[in-house]
Chains A and B, each alone.
Chain A
Amino acid sequence: AQSVSQHNHHVILSEAASLELGCNYSYGGTVNLFWYVQYPGQHLQLLLKYFSGDPLVKGIKGFEAEFIKSKFSFNLRKPSVQWSDTAEYFCAVPWGANAGNNRKLIWGLGTSLAVNP
């Protein structure tokens, strides 16, 4: 079965610092990969996703993630964080029984990011 691990549970940064959040998955076949974000008081929303092609994926708000198949990794990066990036970040992998392009998501535990102004 698939599992997802996120290595950093709590991260504190100052504005303008660079960010990298780790995500690893266990099953080595063809995968789709997602990063979701939950800002304080808001719903979970998609930040970016990888499904094929260019392993460097660009998302919203200046975020990007790199899929490295040999390392089973999909790390999230941002060159310069802002106070407004304070949020919970979740890595997720679709898995299991499907109906078309729809499957359940297997989640990492999440990373709580606090950016100090």
Chain B
Amino acid sequence: NAGVMQNPRHLVRRRGQEARLRCSPMKGHSHVYWYRQLPEEGLKFMVYLQKENIIDESGMPKERFSAEFPKEGPSILRIQQVVRGDSAAYFCASSPQETGTSGDNEQFFGPGTRLTVL
């Protein structure tokens, strides 16, 4: 069972360009989360999606950032008109649909995409 896949692993963009980050969850997982880690900071939640639905986008910047998780295909985090402050590591995680009595499900993480804005 392949783990969470993210591509590209490294992405370089110039200011004003668009960045598209892809995340393929583990097989059978229908929940996807995006987190951002800025230099010298911890992980910050951005958005949580289930297939075709955004469950929680409370961590997404109001402008330039969007995310989707279509019925078919990977989840996409899109950053329009990138600025230097968007340089960070972006991590994707996925979790299963289990609804038992063992508390919150574990989230499984991808290797991250390191975005550098020149």
Say whether A74 faces chain B, with CB atoms less than 8 Å apart: no
Interface size, chain A (Cβ < 8 Å): 29
8 Å CB interface, B68-93 against A: 91, 93
**In the complex the two chains form, what is the Cα distance from A92 to B33 in whole Å?**
14
Residues of chain A lying within 8 A (CB to CB) of residue B4 = 43
**In the complex the two chains form, what is the Cα distance from A106 to B95 in whole Å?**
16
**In the complex the two chains form, what is the Cα distance from A46 to B104 in whole Å?**
12
The reply to whether A106 and B45 form a contact with Cβ atoms under 8 Å apart is yes
Contact of A109 among B35, B42, B103 (CB under 8 A): B42
Give the Cβ gap from B76 to chain A, nearest Cβ, in Å.
Answer: 18
Q: Say which size band chain B's interface belongs to.
A: 20 to 34
Say whether B1 faces chain A, with CB atoms less than 8 Å apart: no
The reply to whether B109 and A43 form a contact with Cβ atoms under 8 Å apart is yes
The reply to whether B59 and A94 form a contact with Cβ atoms under 8 Å apart is no
8 Å CB interface, A88-106 against B: 90, 92, 94, 96-106
The reply to whether A49 and B31 form a contact with Cβ atoms under 8 Å apart is no
Give the Cβ gap from B71 to chain A, nearest Cβ, in Å.
Answer: 16
A residues lining the B interface (CB < 8 Å): 32, 34, 36, 43-46, 49-52, 90, 92, 94, 96-110
B residues lining the A interface (CB < 8 Å): 3-4, 31, 33, 35, 41-45, 48, 50, 55-56, 58-59, 91, 93, 95, 97-100, 102-107, 109-111
- What are 28 A-B residue pairs whose CB atoms fall within 8 Å in the complex? A32-B104, A34-B106, A43-B4, A43-B110, A43-B111, A44-B91, A44-B93, A44-B109, A46-B107, A49-B106, A51-B103, A90-B42, A92-B43, A97-B56, A100-B98, A100-B99, A101-B98, A101-B99, A101-B102, A102-B48, A102-B50, A102-B55, A102-B97, A102-B104, A103-B104, A104-B33, A107-B44, A110-B43
